Amino acid sequence: MKSKFSRLWATKTKDDEWWSSFVTSPLAIVLNYMVIDFKWLTPNKITLISFITAIIATVFIVLGGYQNFIIAAVLIHLSHVFDCMDGQMARYRKTTSVVGCYYDKLTDEIQVALWFGAVGYAAYVQSQQVLPLVLAFIGVASYSFRGYVKYVAFYTQVSQNSHYLKGLAQQESKTDKEDVAGLGFGLRANLRWLIGEQYKIIYVNEGVFIFMLSLALILDSLIPMLWIFALSQFLLALGRAWRKCREIEKIDN
């Protein structure tokens, strides 16, 4: 029989985002090990705790000052650890739900707007320039547009083929990755896996946001990070829109 820690480790998302994969998700497993048997603590409550922590982090960013920035960086990481915990807990207890998934995705989207909006404001206060606010707006809008394009494409393809999502799920199940690292694997295998995970940084998604936000706050270098955020999200949004257009064009052809 597998140990409690092994069963928890099995709940880790195999194709997790960069930084989540090798930092916040493993930390979430450690915390879950300590609280997983507390039945009153449900995944949805963990989601709420994560969101409240994110809001508190936003307040510290808006307050400004180096000490507050450090506290915010810690809280952003803690919020993301909780964000990893809820899914792990649900999978461990076999209590995954559509409602839980919805709340998790919704709060993730709001957190991104809160954090980068707050950083834009803090950088505006520091520099007395409008540029940080513009960069934050472009980045948040582009990130939201990435999600919008994805779901519009789903809707369009489902309207033409009612079995589209079922086929997509079957395709993804066939491409499930096997474990190549973790518990029971040697140091070399885990190092090889860690190096192999680094390419995911180019996706500049939520896992990368946690790292870049925290680093910018710790270094008190907000505007350069906002440039990276705005440009990356704008280009990725355009790229996704183009790819989805090509996919939909194939339906007509």
Domains and CATH numbers, the chain: 4-252 (1.20.120.1760)
pLDDT of residue 234: 97
pLDDT of residue 172: 65
Question: What is the DSSP secondary structure assignment for residue 16, as one 8-state letter?
Answer: P
pLDDT of residue 198: 92
pLDDT of residue 176: 61
Average pLDDT, 10 consecutive residues per value, the chain (253 residues): 84 88 94 95 96 98 97 98 96 92 93 97 97 98 94 84 74 66 83 91 92 97 97 96 88 68
What is the residue type of 203?
Y
pLDDT of residue 164: 74
pTM: 0.91
pLDDT of residue 83: 95
pLDDT of residue 2: 73
pLDDT of residue 72: 98
Give CA separation, 38 vs 9, 32, 90, 148, in Å. Answer: 18, 10, 13, 37
Residues 6+ apart with CB under 8 A from 67: none
How far is 8 from 11, CA to CA, in rounded Å? 5
pLDDT of residue 173: 62
Q: Is residue 130 within 8 Å of residue 121, measured between CB atoms?
A: no
Q: Is residue 250 within 8 Å of residue 113, measured between CB atoms?
A: no
How far is 233 from 102, CA to CA, in rounded Å? 23
pLDDT of residue 174: 60
pLDDT of residue 242: 95
pLDDT of residue 160: 79
